[in-house]
Structure 1
Amino acid sequence: MSTLFAELYNRETVEGRFNANRLLELLKEDPVYRVAYKKMEIPKNTELNAAHILDEHIHFLEKGIVAYEYEDQIISFSSEGDILGMNDIFIPKANKYNVRTITKTIIYTFSKQDVLNNIFNMQEGWLFLYLNNQNYNILVAEKYMLMRQIGKTRLKNILMDIAEKYGYQDGDRIKIPGCFTRKDIANYANLSMNSMSQICKMLENEQFCVIKAKQFILLNKNTKNRKASTDNSSVKQRKD
């Protein structure tokens, strides 16, 4: 019963009425839950931890992409609509992650304590924190399973994931933004640069993708049957 209850709230309440965007709206504008904040523009390739931007604060990404790193290994990426600084509420180890911007990034930054005080007083606040932590655990589990795959399969799945989340349509192809460098993708896939180059040549020979000006371009025929990419709306339409 509790599982069904959580699933019901996950879909109908959290995603529909109480998601990260709704929380940001309340913190910025609601007379009861409003909290002082700063809007900041962070340059590309800035380590937020080194700049002390993550100290005792929670941040909402309005624009841009960041990479989570642990001991120089990229764990995941976040982009607009995501929250930085909330994972360590239940998982102390999470605050040891380094966060690096891979594009110019705009964030709203709030006092972590003020945000938590308000969340704890909201009807769906505790559930929101629980589901946020659950999503984090799922991400870690998925990364673990990904790392168990052979290098070629691992890289293909990573490229399809990035294309689905951040790519844009260009005719019959899907382009991955150039901010996802070969070095960062190799790091995320836990591949050496030499292995990365060898596998990329194989993927190009198999017509899975092409690489032009250091940008990965996936052919639609290789992604259209993938369950995670059946919703075409997940791929942005953009002109070069």
Structure 2
Amino acid sequence: MKGLMELYSKEEIDNLFSETRLINLLMDKYHLIPKKRIMTKNQILVEEGLDNERVFYIKQGIVAFTRNESIFNFEQEGHFIGLETFLFNDIQPYTIVAMEKMEVLLFVKEEILDILMGLQEGWLYLYLLNKAEQQRIQKNCIHLHLKGNDRSRKMLADLAKNFGKVEGEAIVLPKCFSKKIVISYLGLSFNTGKSLIEKLQRENFLLRPEKEKLFRVNKEFC
């Protein structure tokens, strides 16, 4: 793999091996025909501990990753689910649930792997997807080592950067990030999380909600 990586510059890797290019490769060049699915809010895509032979490509919407009913990650449109760390393991290591109504493309994992295994570049795609998953896990571990408010501030700032939209002085999270969802992600009890949110609002890290826009992170802190 190291020798293969040396054939490409970092810029070429970023340009040539994105998940957008992968979905185009699978559908346009190799003519895989996925099934289109509309997922409803709270619908489970794959369930922890069960066999999983499917791969999803998120066309629109956001999913939450949970383990033992605790949320530890999110993913949004433009990304694959099912080609990451547990590539050769059909047992699903976590539950993935739709946070809102969403559209996905459903592939058979074996069909994708058959194509990628036959391509020199295919191994690079898989390597980069695995690397991205490892980086997410490492980030979660770093969060766990932070203390008190610093941990929650960092996690909320990361959510804002990855999923939010700038509106004036705030970066606003989509409305599917409810108070219950965010508090679960922070690893707090509901009452503790509610008190923390109020404290962060007093400190101006979180700006006051506006209608359905519950989480408005002050962009000065991001």
Report the TM-score when normalising by structure 1. Answer: 0.82
For residues 24-48 of structure 1, the C-alpha deviation after alignment (integer angstroms, 9 at most, x for no partner) is 1121121xx2223111111111111
Gaps of 5+ in 2: none
Distance 1:6 1:202 in 2: 47
Question: How far is 1:61 from its partner?
Answer: 0.7
Aligned letter for 2:181? Answer: D
**Pairs within 5 Å for 1:12-91:** 12-30=11-29, 33-49=30-46, 55-87=52-84, 88-90=86-88
> Is 1:163 aligned to residue 160 of structure 2?
yes
For residues 127-151 of structure 1, the C-alpha deviation after alignment (integer angstroms, 9 at most, x for no partner) is 1111211211111111011012123
Report the TM-score when normalising by structure 2. Answer: 0.88
CA RMSD of aligned residues (A): 2.3
- Percent of pairs with identical residues: 28
C-alpha contact (below 8 Å) 1:61/1:83 kept by paired residues: yes
Question: How far is 1:10 from its partner?
Answer: 7.2
C-alpha contact (below 8 Å) 2:204/2:218 kept by paired residues: yes
What count of residue pairs does the alignment treat as equivalent?
216
> Is 1:103 aligned to residue 103 of structure 2?
no
The answer for the alignment partner of 2:128 in structure 1 is 131
Please say which of residues 9-18 and 101-110 is displaced more in the overlay: 9-18
From the superposition, tell whether residues 185 and 57 of structure 1 become closer, same or farther in structure 2 (CA, over 3 Å).
same
Distance 1:47 1:156 in 2: 29
Distance 2:91 2:14 in 1: 24
> Is 1:180 aligned to residue 177 of structure 2?
yes
Of 196, 200, 204, which aligns to 1:199?
196
C-alpha contact (below 8 Å) 2:52/2:92 kept by paired residues: no
> Is 1:112 aligned to residue 109 of structure 2?
yes
Question: How far is 1:167 from its partner?
Answer: 0.9
Distance 2:7 2:205 in 1: 38
Question: How far is 1:209 from its partner?
Answer: 1.1
Aligned letter for 2:13? Answer: V
Gaps of 5+ in 1: 224-240
C-alpha contact (below 8 Å) 2:206/2:218 kept by paired residues: yes
2:201 match: secondary structure: helix
From the superposition, tell whether residues 208 and 126 of structure 1 become closer, same or farther in structure 2 (CA, over 3 Å).
same
For residues 183-210 of structure 1, the C-alpha deviation after alignment (integer angstroms, 9 at most, x for no partner) is 1111111111121112112111111112
The answer for the alignment partner of 1:234 in structure 2 is none
